[in-house]
Amino acid sequence: MDATDSAKLLPPDDSFIDQTFHTLNERHNSIYQFVMRYNDYILSVHDYGEGIPMTMIEVHTLTYIEEHPGVTVTELAKYWGKTKGALSQTASRLAEWGLITKEKKEDNAKNVCLYPTEQGIRLSKSHKLYDTLDITKTMGELRKECTPEEIDAFYKVLSVYNQVIQKDFEINKGARPVGRKPKRRE
């Protein structure tokens, strides 16, 4: 069902639409605010213990490479649900910083495999410790106001919600170009 079909189902009463929107939107605002704050957090740089400021995307990509030596950018893109171009840029930064090496496959020069360097392995291990301590701290904060059952329910709902969004994104992928400027209506 698209927006046109949805509009046909709704009554033309603007007050009903406004009231329904505000009721539903009030709950979802906490999700919107969380997503925006978490996005800022993901894109901010942190020192994971080796003196190299990195974003979460960069360090998690490095850790994936450390745990899956020989992975390709195509495989990374599939795992993270991002474009090959985006992951290729991340891999290039990691290589520039001396954290990974890129090696062409023997049987296919087009495919480039990614391997962690010794420094990359150390940083990945530092990242794992950093995240373990940070997640433990976060869970402690959550436990101050939430029961273990509520935290488990939160993670279950988050997992299902992620699947719903993923399915919607796959269905409507072509309809949501990122970075597109709106066309002016004349």
Alpha-carbon Rg of the chain, whole angstroms?
A: 22
100 and 56 in contact (C-beta within 8 Å)? Answer: no
Chain-centroid distance, C-alpha 11:
37
* Positions of the chain with pLDDT lower than 70, given as ranges: 1-12, 109, 173-186
66-81 pLDDT per residue, tens: 999 999 999 999 998 8
pLDDT at 165: 87
pLDDT at 20: 86
Report which residue type is found at 75: E
DSSP secondary structure of 65-118: HHHSTTEEHHHHHHHHT--HHHHHHHHHHHHHTTSEEEEE-SS-TT-EEEEE-H
Domain ranges of the chain: 45-170
Q: What is the CATH number of domain 45-170?
A: 1.10.10.10
Question: Which pTM does this prediction carry?
Answer: 0.76
